[in-house]
Amino acid sequence: MRHFLTLSDYSKEEILEILELAVKIKNETKNRVFKEYMHKQILGMIFEKSSTRTRVSFESGIYQLGGVGMFLSSTDIQLGRGEPMSDTSRVISRMVDMVMIRTFAHSKIEEFAKYSKVPVINGLTDEYHPVQLMADYLTIMEAGLTKNLVVAYVGDGNNLAHSWLMLAAKLGFELRIATPKGYEVREDILDEANEYAKESGAKFFITNDPKEAVTDATVVTTDTWVSMGQEDEKEQRLKDFAGFIIDSNMMKRAKPNAIFLHCLPAYKDYEVSEEVFEGEQSLVFQEAENRLHAQKGIMVWLDQKRDEK
């Protein structure tokens, strides 16, 4: 049985296999063909943080696959009143077929997975957001940009940045990360990515200069400057991130055919200008839709691997 907690647990071949499955199921869905890959299966969806895309993509996705999603907000279940992850896992995983969790520390999802009888999917932790990256790469594939791919991530060295690092490390493309000083990616995660890069040929370029990062990039991406759980730091962060907005001047430095991606929700005229967000290079809503298709690929793949050790 496999879990989907971070891309570091996955090989290039496995990531591409899941994406291939996502493309196949997307085509079927577009033709209104709904094959019941997960007939009668129940997906438990535990949320300790807010969500629009993750909740809707998993809930719609499992339903379209022939199963049903069970939304479990931590404010409603006993987890929110202090029942341990280990006990919650041992109970819920005996009653459902797969679990998706959005939580704070990554160690919490690891704890749940350790005790779970069923596959566990990371729907975002403070450290990683791997399901988002699968949708992002699907969008890059559809844009025909996988060859000589150069991704520039500008913004906070957060869960998104860490997952970009893992994706690039596994697939072997060039990733530039520009953060303000003091907001760099975690060093241990960068070290781990560098280890994988030895095999994949990935190139990393870490800087505090956004202009340097986006020059000649083929994908430009960013994320909110204030992630969930960091609301108290908002005032300071808005000051520290000055100059890191992706606006049309910044986009002009990238390749002419470059695309703009954002996991959403976007805070316009902070990390991205309204003009870029709404502009022709922006594929953010295709990217958001791809959450549905990528999530289905992940669920079906995990279901197929269920009996493997």
Q: Which residues of the shown chain bind ligand NVA in the complex (CB under 6 A)?
A: 124, 158-160, 223-224, 227-228, 263
Contact 155, 147 (CB under 8 A): no
Say whether residue 23 binds ligand CP (CB under 6 A). Answer: no
- Given the complex with ligand NVA, which of 124 and 202 has the nearer CB atom? 124
Active site residue 186: no
Q: Which does 304 bind (CB under 5 to 8 A by kind): ligand NVA, ligand CP, none?
A: none
- Given the complex with ligand CP, which of 206 and 264 has the nearer CB atom? 264
- Given the complex with ligand CP, which of 52 and 249 has the nearer CB atom? 52
Q: Which of residues 123-152 bind ligand CP (CB under 6 A)?
A: 124, 132
Task: Out of 51, 88, 125, 159, name the contact with ligand CP by CB under 6 A.
Answer: 51
Task: Out of 11, 27, 52, 75, name the contact with ligand CP by CB under 6 A.
Answer: 52
Task: Out of 6, 41, 54, 74, name the contact with ligand CP by CB under 6 A.
Answer: 54
Shortest Å distance, C-beta 169 to ligand NVA: 19
Contact 222, 269 (CB under 8 A): no
Active site residue 102: yes
**Separation between Cα atoms, residue 120 and residue 45, nearest integer Å:** 10
- Given the complex with ligand CP, which of 3 and 291 has the nearer CB atom? 291
Structure tokens at 146: 């996988």
Shortest Å distance, C-beta 256 to ligand NVA: 29
Shortest Å distance, C-beta 223 to ligand NVA: 5
Nearest-CB residue to ligand NVA?
227
Active site residue 162: no
Shortest Å distance, C-beta 226 to ligand CP: 13
Catalytic residue among 3, 64, 106, 132: 132
Active site residue 291: yes
Q: Which of residues 230-259 bind ligand CP (CB under 6 A)?
A: none
Catalytic residue among 129, 162, 176, 237: 129
Beta strands in 97-255 (DSSP E): 98-102, 120-122, 150-154, 174-178, 203-207, 219-222
Catalytic sites, residue numbers:
102, 129, 132, 223, 263, 291
Interface positions with ligand CP (CB under 6 A): 51-54, 124, 132, 263-264
